Chains A and B, each alone.
Chain A
Amino acid sequence: MEAIHDTSLARPAPATAPRRPHRRLSRRRWLKDSSAQSLFGLAAAGVCLLVVLITITLVARSWPILQAYSVSELLAGKSWQPLRGLFGFAPFIAGSAAVTAVAMVLAVTPAVFSGIYLAEYTSARTRSALKPLIDLLVGIPSVVYGLWGILFIVPLIRDYIGPWSDRTVGQIIPFFARTNPSGYGLLAAGFVLAVMVFPLIVAVTEEVLRSVPREMRETLLSLGATRWEATKCIVRRSGMAGILAAIVLGFSRAFGETLAVMMLVGNTAQVPGSLFDAAYPLPALIANNYGEIMSVPLYESALMGAALVLLLVVLAFNVLARLTINRVAGRR
């Protein structure tokens, strides 16, 4: 009753009077909305451009060395003597590749199987108990991994694994011969790196398998397949690309890891020939030499070039893997 009475009172008032505040309010609201849209859109565009900006900056900073030497000279050059103007990246690229390869050999099988376990075999309860395990492994800082490697893995390799490998397999295959008694080297860095990339591969594998429709699983199980047979079929039919992408992501993470690797790998510029050899990966090269950048001509440019190589490798792998994952996971 009250409301009706109110409106009837308002009606005889001049037509413009009640409308003006309303309209002013709506314009202000519209202005707020559209300015927020353009402002936020600007931030979004900025984020998209950031990757491009980083690439351009690194190219620009490494331009002098790209001018002075050809790309093949730089990538295939074997000696690194900045004082004499020799900038060969080959030992460092080989070092990066070797450490990463060792890490992947150690990490891929356990990580993929653990991911499958989390996606296909566990109840929600078990999974929520295991999730902190993965989160904590991701959260531990690189330097703590490095310290753990020094305190635990290096002595283990020095005193047990190294001598044992040298006595047995190393006698036949030189790759397993203990060339370096210190314990620091490819195996130490690769092992710690494997623990570091493990959670990433597990998480992506799980995510990818989880996006496979439930009906597929149920159909397979109802046809009398065991869990493992159903899993095999799912992995083979629709999970393979995603799991490969997970491995590629793990690879690129390992490729760029700096501090832990630097603390364990021995930092000797050589193409490693044995599992126990020291190596010198690209990130360690950048991190170890930043202090001397200013004094030697082209040095800074060379280190920026090293960062550029890292960036390009990681970008290529990441874009490839992410596009694959989006395609696989988007199919749900």
Chain B
Amino acid sequence: MKLNVRRRLEERFFLGLMRVFVATAAILLGLILLVIVWRGIGALSWEMVSQAPQGGFYLGKGGGILNAIAGSLLLATGATALAALIAVPVVLYIHVYAGQGRLTNLLRLALDVMWGIPSIVYGAFGFALMILLGLRASLLAGIITLALVVLPILARTFDEIVSMAPGQLREATLSLGTTRFEFLGVLLRQTVPGLLTALLLAFGRGIGDAASVLFTAGYTDSMPTSLLRPVASLPLAVFFQLSTPFPEVQARAYASALVLTAMILVISLLAHLSISRLGRHVIR
């Protein structure tokens, strides 16, 4: 009887402990969003999101962060597209041609390891490449570097989704006399909602990443015009505005962070929806 009480207490204690930890994480997330919204909303204005910085922006004069918003969208779109160009064939290669084997394991390991490489290292690598190729900090260099950052995220997420496709699909399709390339089309149609989720995930990560574009995309106060010119990005806009000593400019950094966070939230919401809404035609 005594033993029973001790065991039940132990069970209760650890269950309670786990619940406290999970609740703490939820509270911290709420706190992060709350602080960002509460501090950001005050400085947020239509001018902030609709104009590029004007002269003396970093001294508290007029203008906004449209250059950074546009730059971030361009960087993330370009990087996601470039990464998809490599990641989609690689994932389809794994599932259609390579099958289970040493090569597949090696590929997955390489992608997992790449996921773990810090974005500052990609930034340094991109910078070294730029020096080798004689490129200057530009939208193009930023896109290439950022593509390396999001490539493993895109590939592994898509890989997981393709893995969930039913195995009989392959056998049924191939038994109709199709080539593996034709089966690839079937598989792709089956996994398009998942691909969209993976793309959105990569896009969101691309918008939020700063360390990789710090050296490679540079920063500018004008709107992006060319692939070969430097481009602003939202995380760096937050960072640079924050490092000025003027409270008005710092308040703008809070507002920029709110814009950035809102974009991320919308993107993850879309990613969530794309799984549940677009999945209607998928054979399960």
Interface size class of A (residues with CB under 8 A): 35 or more
Is B277 on the interface with A (CB-CB < 8 A)? Answer: no
Chain B 13-57 residues near chain A, CB threshold 8 A? 14-15, 17-19, 21-22, 24-26, 28-29, 31-32, 35-36, 39
The complex places the Cα of A117 from the Cα of B18 at a distance, in Å, of: 6
Is A135 on the interface with B (CB-CB < 8 A)? Answer: yes
**Which A residues lie within 8 Å of B117 (CB)?**
51, 54, 256, 311, 314-315, 318
Q: Which residue of B lies closest to A225 (CB)?
A: B7
Is B165 on the interface with A (CB-CB < 8 A)? Answer: no
Is A181 on the interface with B (CB-CB < 8 A)? Answer: no
Q: Which residue of B lies closest to A319 (CB)?
A: B113
The complex places the Cα of A44 from the Cα of B96 at a distance, in Å, of: 13
- B10 engages A226 (CB within 8 Å): yes
A-B contact count, CB below 8 Å? 251
- B32 engages A141 (CB within 8 Å): no
- B18 engages A249 (CB within 8 Å): no
- B208 engages A141 (CB within 8 Å): yes
- B242 engages A307 (CB within 8 Å): no
- A51 engages B113 (CB within 8 Å): yes
Selected from A57, A151, A315, the residue in CB contact (under 8 A) with B35 is A151
User: What does the 1/0 interface line of B125-154 toward A look like (CB < 8 Å)?
Assistant: 101110110000000000000001001000
Chain B 84-115 residues near chain A, CB threshold 8 A? 86, 89-90, 92-94, 96-98, 103, 105-114
Is B119 on the interface with A (CB-CB < 8 A)? Answer: yes
Is B207 on the interface with A (CB-CB < 8 A)? Answer: yes
- B124 engages A307 (CB within 8 Å): yes
The complex places the Cα of A199 from the Cα of B182 at a distance, in Å, of: 39
Is A287 on the interface with B (CB-CB < 8 A)? Answer: yes
- 11 extra A-B contacts, CB within 8 A, seeds A137-B29, A227-B11: A47-B90, A48-B106, A113-B21, A139-B205, A142-B210, A144-B264, A147-B257, A151-B39, A258-B118, A310-B118, A314-B117
Contact residues of A with B, CB < 8 Å? 29-30, 32-33, 36-37, 39-41, 43-44, 46-48, 50-51, 54, 57-58, 60-61, 109-111, 113-114, 116-118, 121, 130, 132-133, 135-137, 139-148, 150-152, 195, 198-199, 202, 226-229, 231, 249, 252-253, 255-259, 263, 283, 286-287, 290, 303-304, 307, 310-311, 314-315, 317-319, 322-323, 326
Contact residues of B with A, CB < 8 Å? 7-8, 10-11, 14-15, 17-19, 21-22, 24-26, 28-29, 31-32, 35-36, 39, 86, 89-90, 92-94, 96-98, 103, 105-114, 116-125, 127-129, 131-132, 148, 151, 155, 179-182, 184, 204-205, 207-211, 214-215, 235-236, 238-239, 242, 253-254, 257, 260-261, 264-265, 267-268, 272
9 A-B pairs whose Cβ atoms sit less than 8 Å apart in the complex: A33-B179, A41-B97, A121-B15, A133-B26, A139-B204, A139-B208, A141-B264, A143-B257, A314-B121
